[in-house]
Structure 1
Amino acid sequence: MSSTPSTVERAFEAALYADSDAALDTGASLLASDPASDAELTRRGEEFVEGAWRRGWQPADVVRIVRRELDDTHVRLVSALILGESGRNRQPRGPRWTAQLEELTAETAGTKAPPRPEPRTDRFSYATAVLGLYRLLLRLPSIEPLDMDAPKGTAGAPKDSRMLTRIRALLAKAEATGFPEEAEALSAKAQELMARHSIDEALLAARTHAKDAPGACRIGVDPPYETAKAVLLDAVSGANRCRAVWNEALGFSTVVGFEPDLEAVELLYTSLLVQATAAMTKAEAAQRAGGRKRTKSFRQSFLAAYAHRIGDRLAEVAEGQVTASEGELLPVLAARDVAVTDETERMFPATVTTRLRGVNDAAGWEEGAAAADRAQVRARPPLR
């Protein structure tokens, strides 16, 4: 009988370099017939994961693309591989990487299903799932690497976790409440705390001459209606002195900025998307009650208008903040804007502007614009 490494190699040769289901079945049959191949199969899977890291991917990116392209079984498989590789490879990769692993650990612990099916229950199905996952991992393209080993004082883990926890709690309450006045007050307070956190960090770095530099993070832009969501993220990023570059093919935007501003973008974008979805669902229900049936075009136009109008509102907020600023803060913010622009151009020499498309529903556009006007976006308080 052939050795286990030979079995795995023959299965890979049969399944990983072809697109057909027949090739996948052939490889799975080889693995299913050799129970001793499981350990080698897992080891090779961790090597595929390491290969993804070398091509610029991070744990959250890999899980996101597997969830987008495959199914929950593959997500559990890749989660187990990532956690296994991280336990074996102790190379320091920075606080954001660590946070992603911690989140993945919590998600894995919370799932009722095992990280992988027991081979003895259905070895062929298990082998098929593994080979399908490895086929995807092998073909992941290279993407822009994010700096994991950030210098001291620069983008990394948030420094004031208690404040960020409070901001998240305020936004969660704003999204959950059914009372507009309460949501407005909660969102305004969260925005105030975000501004204070960002400004305090910028001034502290300037006064202590810290070697502060922009970093980057990736935020998923999930279907449907990705273009409108990407435009919304771009608007939120610009208002918070960040730049967003959308990778439509892989379903994420890379946001470049200083750490407090990256945190603000992640929190505000998520909150506004929840508010937009809730408002869209309510508006759509009213449209259908009136006999309207074109729900897909209505939703697409609604979100496009929402993103467009929110962009205008956030731009006004940002302009008002600069106008109200004085003293040492203005040159600090100007220097940070230059640093973010330079870093974005270094990472993405040929940046393409995200454009709206597919807007063909007047009612959806009008409802989306009105919802954006009602969204909880408040000007930051004057800086003193």
Structure 2
Amino acid sequence: MPTTHIPQIRIPTTYMRGGTSKGVFFRLEDLPERAQVPGESRDKLLLRVIGSPDPYQKQIDGMGGATSSTSKAVILSKSTQPGHDVDYLFGQVSIDKPFVDWSGNCGNLSAAVGPFAISNGLVEASRIPRNGIATVRIWQANIRKTIVAHVPIVDGAVQETGDFELDGVTFPAAEVQLDFMDLADGEGAMFPTGNVVDDLEVPEEVAKGGILEATLINAGIPTIFVNAQDIGYTGTELQDAINGDTRALAMFETLRAHGALRMGLIQRLEDAALRQHTPKIAFVAKPADYVASSGKRVKAAAVDLLVRALSMGKLHHAMMGTAAVAIGTAAAIPGTLVNLAAGGGDRTSVHFGHPSGTLRVGAEARLEGSDWKVVKASMSRSARVLMEGWVRVPADSF
């Protein structure tokens, strides 16, 4: 008796790098009808496209690259929001578990949204110059915030090649400047506890005495900042120093869960396991010399502070774009742990060291009554189409 085989379907897709991340990009209208709305079908489709859940944590049977930076999906459509060009929805796909986290943005892939939108007809032609800079107004649907991308255009097409270098990316490309507007996260105030520094209650295995100083901020993405020395680090660590240490990773996840609870992002500590993408956890230190993962020497005099951040349970190879926004915002507000590590005082930009090198991000803060407001934070990234065509998945996988 012949075996019945389920055919594969194919879906128009673009595989893009944005900043130090890469992911699969879809136009909403190109998705199968049942995946055009949020829900189980959409999540199952993206999981199968990326190759998750994979107990081997390699994503061999999908488009993912087995790291948090390369297990990502983006869905774009013409904007339904007044004054915007494109709606941008980001999904962080778990590598070894069957879920997609929709709770936050990806700042790195934000750099690819404008170029994709222009190249795929999502931006009105009248808004695209023949030569110059196209301003793409992006509605970030996960957190309901505006991002403005400044995309270089040559002969009416997106410029992708150039001489802009970004630590964590091997080859130069064209520069895309991003402005992240109205930075408090959609889930509440910029400082959910009302404080720029909190005494966070944590288990003894995290900090002796059960108390750890922390800056808990919603800007770009909810982020928990602690001092490196308070948890036994220097701020010069590379991925191998932490990602191969199961006890360290467990400690960071415990710390992240307690910070998430204090920020009001979860109701119970165990809920953190279902919210892997947010909040982020990062540790900061004063400048010091170190050797980046590429072998590049970073001098203490070249940076204002050092920052290391974890994403999806692992130390990031460079810096998440949204976390960079949080760093720039916190640095601009006197008294935060980020600001103090950078030397304190007022500042409108910060240059920080991360495992792959350095990055500069700007932000301007002002105190309105008892609340801090940051109109925008800015940074430069780059983006490039890696491949375009169709992705195939078994028809019964979603």
- TM above 0.5, one fold? no
- Larger RCO (alpha carbons 8 Å, 6+ apart): 2
More strand by share: 2
TM-score by length of 2: 0.29
More helix by share: 1
